[in-house]
Copies of this chain bind each other. A is one copy, B any other.
């Protein structure tokens, strides 16, 4: 380890309390991008980041888009590759609010049996993660006056709401954003001891389906039996989406789904992934996907179809004998390999239409369509980062897959012609997208130190 790096790491350790204060300031802003009522808060979070990046010497601005702002900042110097860092400052909604132990936007450092955690919406996804990188830069600049690499920040405010402005923004700002390699911090550790570089990401296709039947809600006694019930129609369609083996029945769905290469299967087998513990952590015991697949395959390399939400009729307290006029569901597909999200959207819609009784009509609303990504691990930065991470953590870093969808890596490749390296420090038990989200203090602290190491390693690679 170089003296230059050593000084930066010492600075990070000394600055930890102050860096937590800064993160808490950002966590206090309820930047829920999917809810129009919070648009002002999303803008406020963008402005906060602009100010913070300017305070460490970056030239920063919040670019307006048709939706929420894109925070862009430039700085650094040196002979190494020009890096682009991506994170997102918007967060998921917080409902059901009554399942939170404390207000989601009042962050707190809490002691738990597994160590200290930062509790707040966005602590892990993604404000805590993006601030690990910002703090690593701050320490480099504080100790050495500058970074050893040229760096562009690109921080998004729409990641949790389907990123409607992202592609137009990237297409309209190709020159300003071009770099040699993108760093993306929105992924996790393999486990508490083992850091990971994610090299396979599933894509995502989101669809909302609304089935309309009678032109108004009806009394189920007066009309029940004779009038079509759209909730029943929807239930049939949703039930039909999987067969008894857990395979998805949408026509041509498995076109472009590859079998896992044997070398990767062997590497994953050696990770010691504990499917029982993974499921046991959330109160489950049986892998629920395709028969004959391992749990790790199910979440890393197999496509899925999930009902993310559904609603029809009366759902309040008590009972109401209503025959509902409509029923709706939000359905998403995780995609792998060469699955084509646009073809599958049409195939899914045809699947639904084919099951529609004469007296029903259907409306669709699209919520994102991104293909899967497979990273170019031959880039020397990957081995450099693997080495740097392995020095910081108890176990050597692994190349892993990820079940979640981070379409940005695909867009960087297709629009900006740039490879991406995904490194992050979240844990499976962070409860992202759920009540009581948290980020381990160890993830935050070691995450900052990890980025400080990676910056130096990549600068020299």
Contact = CB atoms under 8 A, between A and B. Distances in A.
A225 B309 contact: no
Contacts of A144: none
This protein's copies in its complex: 2
A349 interface: no
Contacts of A432: 219, 222
A43 B249 CA distance: 54
Nearest to A230: B307
Interface in A410-454: 428, 431-435
A375 B319 CA distance: 27
A283 B222 CA distance: 15
A191 interface: no
B307 A221 contact: no
Contact of A334 (B188, B220, B289, B308): B220
Nearest to A328: B315
A301 B269 CA distance: 61
A213 interface: yes
A204 B307 contact: no
Contacts of A227: 279, 282, 284, 288
A221 B426 CA distance: 14
Interface string A315-331: 11111111110011110
Given A310-B315, A403-B221, A216 B161 contact: no
Nearest to A298: B225
Q: Among the interface residues A160, A221, A313, which one has the most CB atoms of the partner chain B within 10 A?
A: A221
Contact of A35 (B93, B240, B302, B316): B316
Contacts of A231: 238, 307, 309-310, 329
Interface in A225-252: 225-229, 231-232, 234-236, 238-242
Contacts of A161: 318-319
Contact of A314 (B93, B235, B316): B93
A334 B223 CA distance: 11
Contacts of A240: 239
A219 to B, nearest CB: 5
Contact of A284 (B92, B214, B405, B435): B214
A287 interface: yes
Interface string A324-365: 100111101010000000000000000000000111000000
A217 interface: yes
Q: Which of A93, A227, A319, A367 has the most CB of B within 10 A?
A: A319
With most chain B CB atoms within 10 A of its CB, the pick from A215, A282, A304, A329 is A282
B313 A307 contact: yes
B288 A35 contact: no
A299 interface: yes
A457 to B, nearest CB: 28
A224 B307 contact: no
Contact of A332 (B93, B218, B220, B434): B220
A13 interface: no
A299 B223 contact: yes
A445 to B, nearest CB: 23
A358 B220 contact: no
A155 to B, nearest CB: 20
A422 to B, nearest CB: 13
29 contacts: A34-B317, A35-B318, A93-B314, A162-B318, A206-B321, A217-B435, A220-B306, A220-B332, A221-B334, A222-B402, A223-B403, A225-B290, A226-B275, A228-B286, A236-B239, A239-B240, A279-B359, A286-B359, A306-B323, A307-B313, A308-B319, A308-B320, A309-B312, A309-B322, A310-B312, A310-B315, A311-B315, A319-B368, A322-B433
The 9 closest A-B pairs by CB, nearest first: A221-B404, A34-B318, A215-B283, A309-B313, A239-B239, A225-B298, A235-B238, A319-B367, A231-B307
Interface of A: 34-36, 92-93, 95, 99, 160-162, 188, 202, 204, 206, 208, 213-229, 231-232, 234-236, 238-242, 275, 278-279, 282-290, 295, 298-299, 302-304, 306-324, 327-330, 332, 334, 357-359, 367-368, 402-405, 428, 431-435
Given A225-B303, A309-B312, A309-B324, 4 more contacts: A218-B433, A220-B304, A232-B242, A286-B359
